[in-house]
Structure 1
Amino acid sequence: MIKRISKFDINQETFRRLFGIFMLLCIMAITGHIALASEIDVIKKRVMDELLSSGVDNNEIEDLLNTQREDGTWPGINYEDVSRTGFEHRIHTANMVTLSKAYQAKGGRYRNNRKVRQAIQKALAHWVEKDYFCENWWHNQIGTPTNLVAVMLLAGSDMPKELVEKAQPMIGRAHLEASGARPSGDRIKIAGILAKNLLFREDKQQFDEVIKVIEGEIKFSSGERGMQHDYSFHHRHDRVNNTLSYGLGYADAFVEWAVYVAGTDYAFSDEKIKQLVDYYLDGICKTMVFGKYPDPGAKNRSVARKGALNPMDAHTPKKLMQATDYRKEELEEIIKFREGELDEVSLSHSTFFWHSEHFTFQRPHYYASVRMYSTRNRNMEEPYNSEGLKNHHRGDGANHVLLTGEEYYDIYPVMDYQKVPGATILQKEALPDENQIQRPGLTDFVGAATDGLYGVASFDFKSPHDPVQARKSWFFFDEEYVCLGAGIQAGTNRPVVTTVNQNLVFGDVVVGNGKEQKASPKGEHELDHVEWVYSDRMAYVFPEPQKVHLFHGPVTGNWTDISKQTSAPKEDVTMDIFKLWVDHGSRPSEGSYAYIVLPGVNREQAASYDHASRLQILANTKDVQAVKHKGLGIYQLVFYQSAELDLGEGMKVIMDGPGQVILQMDGKAIKKITVADPARKLGKMHFRINVPVNHTEAGFAGAWNPQNEYSEIAVDLPRDVYAGKSVTVDL
């Protein structure tokens, strides 16, 4: 018997099916919403845990509670001065954060404490009533919002709603259209503040958008603000190296959020995280002494702050390892060295940041750097907020060398800023005004050739401050490096000097020549026929006996001489200083110098060092500077113009134009060629050498011509954002 299905039955069946589908969709939607909500909660908890990770000092909390005034303020803070050099109000908001941590800390004495809650409320009420606004935008858009959003996350839910809402416009000054939210380190910081506030307000939709902005900030900037293609960092269009200032904050902000969102639907892509690891290891860490201590030559106005050269902790590399296994072994070594588990690092490198004109060199026992500038960038950061008031010459070929990372620690209030290590400087009665510090470079032949392990840096130097010019090169090898200067000219009667080094001194200073060696008494001395000077495991060797000037002894200065910040220490500082320099006299026309830096040696090694058996200075003129390392079989050559150079042992090089060349030999055969164009004007580099080379590959052609007995070499050079980068060819 066939059952008839009525129209009503069909509608009922359809309804049941549709209702079932509807319920399933609802469940899926609710489940998805719950999953998303739970992920937001996970991220928020991670943010709060990070805020609480520094712990609470109960004595500090007690002091804040006892000293707070009825109006919510604290004594010792100047609430009137909102200038760029003042704004001690940051201490007020920092106090609020400290109290909020105590209020939220699980198991702490002040957890959910009524007095602490009242203190936070009074301090916040005072702030929202006054709405302190600094002349420096950074405090308004980053500093103050950072602290206020931390207070919201930790204690905001227990604050009066009206007070919380009044604080929101002040936190809201950290937004993506803010004047400070430029594509660079500050944009990513501002986006991070905004994201934390969105977590507090539970605005999931906008949070999703801001996280995408943070992830998108990890990118190469193609010559503008931000991460450069050489892994240095520019914060401004002046193209000054900011890797160890804004560039650190840029990395830290991204790493912070990479860990917060790891394992959730908001997690950053592997591509972005790997790029950040590359930037951290190949940019930041290679601009640091052994990846731990900031390179003094890479610091700008921040040298005017006490502790600017403090060693870095392991916080950021540890965070990176929570987000990825990429380059794990390298990160682990940095962590172990920073935490004192290793005595030295294994990494040896020769690195040139061609976008920032900064060269760094490292061996396990020493680190050195050279800071330069060209027509492509400025010499130094401006003295923003009246810091770094004497930095006029700190980019003029500054050459720092370190064994421990502490050789220049807090030297800056007592430093002689007209004797910058490595620089050739006109000696003036006084430095120009602070508004004269930043200047564009005047020459374009500025750069370095490096194969990643060895390198030569060159600076066609023309001072933007004084009528002084010189051609300066540094040739780096495993145990020593050679410093050459030639063509030194000055159109003034004032003396011109090249400073070998100026650093802190901790032991005896010994001066030697072929006949004797003796400890130098403290004070300033003019010494003749000097062959070497030794100080604190560092020897400075002169290939030809040299007249030098030496000073070592106590020097007194003050931080307020280089900073007008109200936080600058007011007490005089006295330190023992070592200074060694060569005086070229007044109005030099063809001045020159040559010295070898021998790091990490004892006094006996300094006295017995035989430079002639290890090194040969092939040329030191205004046209060509060149050094051969006999033991390594390496020739490092700098041509400021087309020239012919005798390499010795029957070898010659004929260069068609300016450029740098490194030849690594295996006996009489060339096994590696490295070239670079510091001027960045060439598409190819051409030179000839009377050594057989028959090798062709993409971008390289070498052919032996038996008729003239020369090999014709042509090397394609990098273009665009890679112009200035070295090219290395293994034969």
Structure 2
Amino acid sequence: MTTPWSRRGFLTVCSGTAVALGLGTRAFAAPDEFATLRARWRTLILGDGFSPTAEPFKSRLADLGTTASQYRATMAPAAGSLWPGLVYADPDPDTDQESFGYSANMNTSYTRLSTLAQAYCQPGTGLTGDAGLRDAIVTGLDHLHDDVYNASQARYGNWYNWQIGAPQALLDLCVLMYDALSATRIAGYLAAVDHFVPDSAVGSYTGTSTGANRVDLCRVLALRGVVGASAAKVALARDALSLVFPYVTSGDGLYADGSFIQHTTVPYTGSYGSVMLGGLGLLFALLAGSSWEVTDPNRQIVFDAVEHTWAPFLYNGLVMDGVAGRAISRGLTASDPKQIQQDDHLRGHPILASIVLLGQGASAAENARWRALVKGWMQRDYYSPPLADPVLGLPHLARLKRVQDDGSVTAVAEPTGHRLFPSMERATHRRPGWAAALSMADRRITYYETGNGENLRGWHTGSGMLYWWGGTFANGQYSDAFWPTVDPCRLPGTTVSRKALADAAGGDWGASKPDVNWVGGATDGQRAAVGQYLKGLQSTLVAKKSWFFLDDTVVCLGAGITCADGTAVETTVDNRNLGPAGGAPFTVDGTVQPASYPWSATLTGAKWAHIGGHGGYVFPSGATVRALRDARDGSWSTINKSGSTTVLNRKYLTMYVDHGTDPVNASYAYLLLPGATAAATRARAADPDWLTVLANTDSRQGVLVRSLGFTGVNFWFGGTVGTLTASDPCSVMISESEDGTAVIAVSDPMRMRTSLTLTWRRAVAAVTSAPGTLASAATGSTLTLSFGDLTGTAGAAQRVTVRLG
């Protein structure tokens, strides 16, 4: 019979009196401050302030107990493993790729023990304070220590498992089971941690000790110090964090423009960035008020990054896949058939909770703003409500539940506006009811990241992939098994050669980057002109691609599309995931197309198209577009070697422009109208005066939208487009306002201009504000702006405000 545990009884077990557990006394007593920190860490990793008899916690705790019971029942200590199927003894440690799996099994073994310890410490699991479970945990810890993770073992496989994964779980176990472990045992465990994670692991800010990885290493060192009562270790961890805070200008870390890079070339706000944010929140909270409190004034950069770096990529509870790197390929795994499929929403929810935790150490104003943002994201995540998230940890769940229940917090709406991130070649655009994001690549930013057998077919995700989501619709577009079932050569917005590529083509860890410089754009914070000089991965394909982000539309232009691969080249207008059922009506020029699968058609002279429940598309001069309804099979194992082999099927509606085999100077033009009705799409197509395409060539691309007062031009070379003349390559956008002012945003995407002159043949009375890079300005019937050295602007837009004549 299970003993009912009161909250006080639960705390007694987990804060640990040796008498209560019948374990005798410890060989030494830790100083009070370390005991305080151990207790605080328990609270941080177990959660607090929730009722174990109320939902969603009651069910989650019961599930934890069920899982722990299964792990306990199947634990079978043997040479080289603790659980059958999780063999960590590597028969051939010289074979790195195979060794990765063995070291990962060691990591997983410690994680399972951590699950057992949580079930032992948490109330309501059915195993709370169970002596048999306690003994099983200690047996498992001893076995792993004696068999593999000890001070005499040489490292093999993935460094991460030895320096971050296993020691983090081990040290959590030491805290949770502190009173069940003898001093001798703890000393042995800490000696193993010291062996694999010496002080030199944070000796310099290089290699695997940067960004999120360094925060993880600091967590290991801090907890090693707390468990072992070593003030020096805790101080080392605190001080080593300081190199994470300052903005960087290359490599891993936070950038002044809001970018976050890991692995040198990979935009990683939504994966490694999430780890860093969560780790910093935990460490700030652990050390707050202690002798080792983090007081470095540069930690304000991290607080600023909540709204500057993370918030732009959070939308209604999800974190955008364009900044999740190879994590997009992590769905169902082969080793755990009961695992919940990962997706953009499940990656987003921990970030929301980490923001809440970080807010406890921020200013009152910051904390209030962040809680309001989080509450809004939670309320609008109808697709995957955070409090029903099946994989969100109990501490995170408790933090989010408190925000939801806090009547003093008023949810705020999604912001509107445009953000460019030149340091990682990403852009986000937000309008009422929808959001979009763009992923590009250049000589600094990789096409995509593969590694550890993950994301094997992400080849074209950096080739101008244009993501978009609706506020109350289509939020499962990339969540519902999109990555294992989509045609990887028909990603929305991309221009791609159909040349066959090998899995992991280009090399691991973001090794492959296009040899191009002109990638970037200009924005006034609301609208934008963005461009990408595209070179295909392991292909002869070249193209010039431009996107003009406006109030209800994204204008998409392509030119100079040339290839000699001997294969077809396609530009994918869109590729909508319609789920297992399909069924969205598809209308072209007023005619509803067949809803059967499979179905395909060549739409000659198409003016507009509409996908019910999604949005509209306009082809300004008419276009020949291929349309396809396709029921596609796929499995996670096709894109991730650790993925499940279970076959999934999803239905897609795809529109693409077929440029033919080996095209020369091919082009395209279309408008994307997210969320538009069929009537609104038809009306836009019927209005020839709404959009003027000023240029769409290999040299220049530009548009004019008179009703918005918008002009946008990407000068691939200097020259004249409409009323604008540029002396050199640049990106320009102009927004004229009804109050008689205009903002001119100019950027140097190539980061090479030591001078630049822009002429606008428009009457201008005065320049009212300008950046320091503006050397001179001549007003009158024509405006001439002369910029000085732009090489130090990192591709950021230089905004000049003028009063029109």
TM bin, normalised by shorter chain, reads 0.7 to 0.9
Query: Which residue does 1:386 correspond to in 2?
Result: 453
Preserved CA contact (<8 Å) 1:400 1:501: no
Report how far residue 450 of structure 1 moved.
Answer: 1.0
Report how far residue 334 of structure 1 moved.
Answer: 2.5
Does residue 1:524 correspond to 2:524, yes or no? no
Match of 1:689 among 746, 760, 781: 760
Match of 1:319 among 357, 371, 396: 357
Match of 2:645 among 570, 591, 607: 570
The aligned amino acid for 1:455 is A
Does residue 1:467 correspond to 2:540, yes or no? yes
Query: Which residue does 1:141 correspond to in 2?
Result: 163
1:623 and 1:479 map into 2 onto residues whose CA distance is 27
Query: Which residue does 1:659 correspond to in 2?
Result: 730
Preserved CA contact (<8 Å) 1:411 1:503: no
State how 1:280-319 maps to structure 2 within 5 Å.
280-290=306-316, 292-306=317-331, 307-311=342-346, 312-313=348-349, 314-319=352-357
Does residue 1:700 correspond to 2:770, yes or no? no
Query: Which residue does 1:543 correspond to in 2?
Result: 620
User: Aligned pair in 2 of structure 1 residues 415, 158: CA closer, same or farther (>3 Å)?
Assistant: same
Q: 173-182 vs 554-563, which deviates more?
A: 173-182
Match of 2:35 among 12, 31, 41: 41
Report how far residue 636 of structure 1 moved.
Answer: 1.0
1:166 and 1:38 map into 2 onto residues whose CA distance is 22
Match of 1:376 among 444, 448, 451: 444
Q: 112-121 vs 60-69, which deviates more?
A: 60-69
Query: Which residue does 2:83 correspond to in 1?
Result: 74
Superposed CA deviations along residues 500-533 of structure 1, whole A, max 9, x for unmatched, are: 12231144231322x6444554322222222222
Superposed CA deviations along residues 101-141 of structure 1, whole A, max 9, x for unmatched, are: 23334687544432122101211121012116551111111
Q: 388-397 vs 529-538, which deviates more?
A: 529-538
Query: Which residue does 2:14 correspond to in 1?
Result: none
1:159 and 1:214 map into 2 onto residues whose CA distance is 30
1:282 and 1:528 map into 2 onto residues whose CA distance is 44
1:46 and 1:98 map into 2 onto residues whose CA distance is 19
Does residue 1:236 correspond to 2:263, yes or no? yes
Report how far residue 678 of structure 1 moved.
Answer: 0.9
Does residue 1:51 correspond to 2:127, yes or no? no
Q: Secondary structure in 2 aligned to 1:609?
A: helix
Preserved CA contact (<8 Å) 2:634 2:649: yes
Query: Which residue does 1:177 correspond to in 2?
Result: 200
Report how far residue 80 of structure 1 moved.
Answer: 4.9
The aligned amino acid for 1:147 is A
The aligned amino acid for 1:526 is T
Q: Secondary structure in 2 aligned to 1:434?
A: coil
The aligned amino acid for 1:64 is Y
Preserved CA contact (<8 Å) 1:317 1:334: no
The aligned amino acid for 1:413 is P
Query: Which residue does 1:407 correspond to in 2?
Result: 477
1:365 and 1:175 map into 2 onto residues whose CA distance is 50
2:423 and 2:354 map into 1 onto residues whose CA distance is 25
Does residue 1:354 correspond to 2:380, yes or no? no
The aligned amino acid for 1:563 is N
Does residue 1:65 correspond to 2:72, yes or no? yes
Report how far residue 476 of structure 1 moved.
Answer: 0.3
Preserved CA contact (<8 Å) 2:567 2:662: yes
Q: Secondary structure in 1 aligned to 2:82?
A: coil
2:738 and 2:122 map into 1 onto residues whose CA distance is 68
Superposed CA deviations along residues 656-700 of structure 1, whole A, max 9, x for unmatched, are: 111111112246955211110111111333111222333275443
The aligned amino acid for 1:356 is M
Query: Which residue does 1:269 correspond to in 2?
Result: 295
1:424 and 1:411 map into 2 onto residues whose CA distance is 19
Preserved CA contact (<8 Å) 1:512 1:607: no
The aligned amino acid for 1:136 is N
Superposed CA deviations along residues 440-481 of structure 1, whole A, max 9, x for unmatched, are: 222111111011111111011122411111110000011111
Q: Secondary structure in 1 aligned to 2:267?
A: coil
Match of 2:250 among 209, 223, 228: 223
Runs of 4+, deviation exceeding 6 Å: 341-344
Q: 316-325 vs 95-104, which deviates more?
A: 95-104
Query: Which residue does 1:554 correspond to in 2?
Result: 631
Query: Which residue does 1:452 correspond to in 2?
Result: 525
Preserved CA contact (<8 Å) 1:455 1:476: yes
User: Aligned pair in 2 of structure 1 residues 116, 674: CA closer, same or farther (>3 Å)?
Assistant: same
Query: Which residue does 1:84 correspond to in 2?
Result: 100
Preserved CA contact (<8 Å) 1:241 1:356: yes
Match of 1:363 among 417, 423, 431: 431
Does residue 1:118 correspond to 2:135, yes or no? yes
Q: Secondary structure in 2 aligned to 1:352?
A: strand
Match of 2:787 among 699, 715, 724: 715
1:320 and 1:308 map into 2 onto residues whose CA distance is 24
Query: Which residue does 1:8 correspond to in 2?
Result: none
The aligned amino acid for 1:398 is M
Question: Structure 1: where are the runs of 5+ without partners?
Answer: 1-35, 647-651
User: Aligned pair in 2 of structure 1 residues 516, 100: CA closer, same or farther (>3 Å)?
Assistant: closer
Report how far residue 623 of structure 1 moved.
Answer: 1.5
Q: Secondary structure in 1 aligned to 2:799?
A: strand
Query: Which residue does 1:16 correspond to in 2?
Result: none
Question: Structure 2: where are the runs of 5+ without partners?
Answer: 1-29, 48-59, 91-97, 150-154, 332-341, 383-411
Query: Which residue does 2:389 correspond to in 1?
Result: none
TM-score by length of 2: 0.80
Superposed CA deviations along residues 61-90 of structure 1, whole A, max 9, x for unmatched, are: 333333333659334434456632453333
Q: Higher Cα Rg: structure 1 or 2?
A: 1
2:122 and 2:274 map into 1 onto residues whose CA distance is 29
1:572 and 1:659 map into 2 onto residues whose CA distance is 47
1:236 and 1:342 map into 2 onto residues whose CA distance is 31
Preserved CA contact (<8 Å) 1:61 1:98: yes
Does residue 1:603 correspond to 2:678, yes or no? yes
TM-score by length of 1: 0.87
1:534 and 1:333 map into 2 onto residues whose CA distance is 35
2:258 and 2:738 map into 1 onto residues whose CA distance is 36
2:564 and 2:124 map into 1 onto residues whose CA distance is 72
Preserved CA contact (<8 Å) 1:297 1:399: no
Q: Secondary structure in 1 aligned to 2:491?
A: coil
What CA RMSD, in Å, does the superposition of the two structures yield over aligned residues?
A: 2.6
State how 1:636-675 maps to structure 2 within 5 Å.
636-646=712-722, 652-666=723-737, 671-675=742-746
Percentage of identical aligned residues: 22
Q: Secondary structure in 2 aligned to 1:503?
A: strand
User: Aligned pair in 2 of structure 1 residues 38, 629: CA closer, same or farther (>3 Å)?
Assistant: farther
Report how far residue 305 of structure 1 moved.
Answer: 0.7
Q: Secondary structure in 2 aligned to 1:196?
A: helix
2:505 and 2:198 map into 1 onto residues whose CA distance is 31
User: Aligned pair in 2 of structure 1 residues 181, 40: CA closer, same or farther (>3 Å)?
Assistant: farther
Does residue 1:423 correspond to 2:494, yes or no? yes
Report how far residue 197 of structure 1 moved.
Answer: 1.7
Superposed CA deviations along residues 608-658 of structure 1, whole A, max 9, x for unmatched, are: 334534322221111211112222211111111121222xxxxx2221111
Report how far residue 145 of structure 1 moved.
Answer: 0.4
The aligned amino acid for 1:234 is I
Q: Secondary structure in 2 aligned to 1:77?
A: coil
1:204 and 1:111 map into 2 onto residues whose CA distance is 32
Q: 107-116 vs 466-475, which deviates more?
A: 107-116
Q: Secondary structure in 1 aligned to 2:100?
A: coil
Preserved CA contact (<8 Å) 2:34 2:227: no
Report how far residue 51 of structure 1 moved.
Answer: 2.0
